Chain A
Amino acid sequence: MQIVWLQSPQTKIYYNASTFRHLLDSLARPGKLNQLEYPEIPGGWLDEAPTHPTRENATLNPYALGAFLSLIDGEVSFAIASGGTWLQQESAAVRWLSLRSGASLKSPSAVAFAFFCEGRSGGLLKELSQGTLLEPESSATAFYCVEQLSDTPKTGRDWLELELSGPGILHSRRLYVAGMERSEIVAINASRGNYPLGIDLYLIDTLGQCVGLPRTTKILNR
């Protein structure tokens, strides 16, 4: 198929559109693995990306950063946590995200988007807004950077086996996650016990595979 580009094919416009479709599909079909594009755009908007705030010589997941940036702007606020602590305004990661998006850092209970640099929140998930009955859509959306995601069986101590069910899933779906603690699943389930209130989640691994877990998804830790 021939594509006629209105703008230069490399612009962020197309990256944002493509990334959004993956995020939408991930949330509409919980547990389905969607491969995100690598946010490599000439002009380098991901250049000088901050390093991992609490792990030495480690980078922040660029796929997750790109997806996060594709949704935030000056109209919304965000929070970012690493190692079980919320990062402050002077943190390099916060300044980098604010500068590139125009979004502001706010207290966790007031933000629309939260970014966890690892596959654990260290109990911080419960600080995010679950919305209200009048405005359940005002709840937060959280991104977790996990090590690996798979839809084929994996064994080993590093892997969690999750059984998912709910809207978007025909019967049930198995998801295997590495780099996420078992206690985090308990925290996630606790955040969605009062539907329609709840927090919507994305898990994104180091290879750019993305899974959505909206508040309607029931998660069973096998």
Chain B
Amino acid sequence: MKQPDSLKALITQLTAPSEEATSSDREQEEDTLYNFGFIDEDSKREVRRKLLKAVAIPGHLVPFASRDLPVAKGWGTGGLQITLALVKPDDTLKVIDQGDDDSVNAVNLRRFIQKTTNLQVTTDTLEATIVQTRHRVPEEPLGEDQILVLQVPMADPLRWVEPSIERSTEMHAEADYAPIWVYMYESVVRSGDVDISSQYPVMVEERYLMDTTPAPRYDVPALHMSKTLYLYGAGREKRIYAIPPYSRVAPLEFEDYPFKTEQKPGQACEKCGSTATYLTQHYIEAKSVDGTASHSATNGTEGYWAFFCSDTSYCNKRKKVI
């Protein structure tokens, strides 16, 4: 039987362990043993077919055969599979985690995608053709030639009110969303307002109830009539869904308890001074006299809570301008 070249190369390498592989050999090995985008072409095709259906039925959860990857499920494998099925060699990729380009999840996923595709990567939102993100929509408005891929931990917003996936699928089919309205009403009775901090449920095109991932409420208005295609992937739950550009996305709200974002007037980023971005709170440790961090601030500076832009790339851009 004729063996493929890549298999021959591997057998040769394994049977001659004494020969030290040179760096050029290792490069050659990568050339022949990796598929572009790591996952095989049949798997990509399956993800692609499901993505097309997700775009055709905005907000509908489309099941897909979530493949195993060298990343644990729950760490962005849904978004990763979408990105790997999307990319072509001339793409420029940005990966963020909670708005941050440098967090562990973002760095690892970016490295993995770059290693298996040789794509150009960037931290500049405006340079990217594909942005993969965990729980944030970038601050800078995305354009028509960009795609936002979101990693989703919990795909079905009805999970709060209906633990059975079979029953919640029926509820989506019948557009029976009464229980979620009751849930929201109860939260108003309980706490005086709708106490959903993130993962705010929205109606897409007046038909499907959709989860917005644990993105802050601040990001929800960006989904409505956006210029950009939003693709959502839940690897652990094996679901894909999408919001096409220029689609109507409305957060659930009562007339007397309208939807609100969490931004408060007067808050500003400590680094760039922005008052019009989503801010996260960080504790700045007290410093002792010699400048090292300290639990107490005897004769040094007191520790305090500060606000910083969640979108680090945008914050750095603003700082450069200032």
Residues of A bordering B, CB below 8 Å: 1, 3-7, 9, 12-14, 16-18, 20-21, 23-25, 27-29, 70-76, 112, 132-134, 136-137, 139, 141, 167-170, 195-196, 198, 200, 214-216
Contacts and interface: CB of A to CB of B under 8 A. Distances in A.
Given A7-B36, A136-B60, A137-B62, A112 B52 contact: no
Contacts of A72: 45
A72 B229 CA distance: 24
A3 B92 CA distance: 11
Interface in B9-58: 30-31, 34-37, 41-42, 44-46, 48-58
B88 interface: yes
A27 B55 CA distance: 7
A27 B37 CA distance: 23
A137 B120 contact: no
B36 A195 contact: no
B46 A29 contact: no
A213 B239 CA distance: 23
A151 B225 CA distance: 22
Given A7-B35, A170-B246, A76 B49 contact: yes
A181 B63 CA distance: 36
A195 B229 CA distance: 21
Interface string B190-210: 000000000000000101100
Contact of B88 (A21, A75, A198, A200): A21
B170 interface: yes
Given A7-B35, A75-B42, A1 B245 contact: no
A1 B87 CA distance: 16
Nearest to B169: A134
Nearest to A27: B55
A82 to B, nearest CB: 24
User: Nearest 4 CB-CB pairs, A to B?
Assistant: A214-B56, A133-B173, A137-B53, A4-B118
A215 B118 contact: no
Contacts of A4: 89, 118
B274 interface: no
Nearest to B208: A196
B247 A73 contact: no
A4 to B, nearest CB: 4
B117 interface: yes
A193 to B, nearest CB: 15
Contact of A16 (B45, B205, B242, B244): B45
Nearest to B45: A73
Contacts of A200: 52-53, 56
A72 to B, nearest CB: 8
Contact of A75 (B46, B63, B92): B46
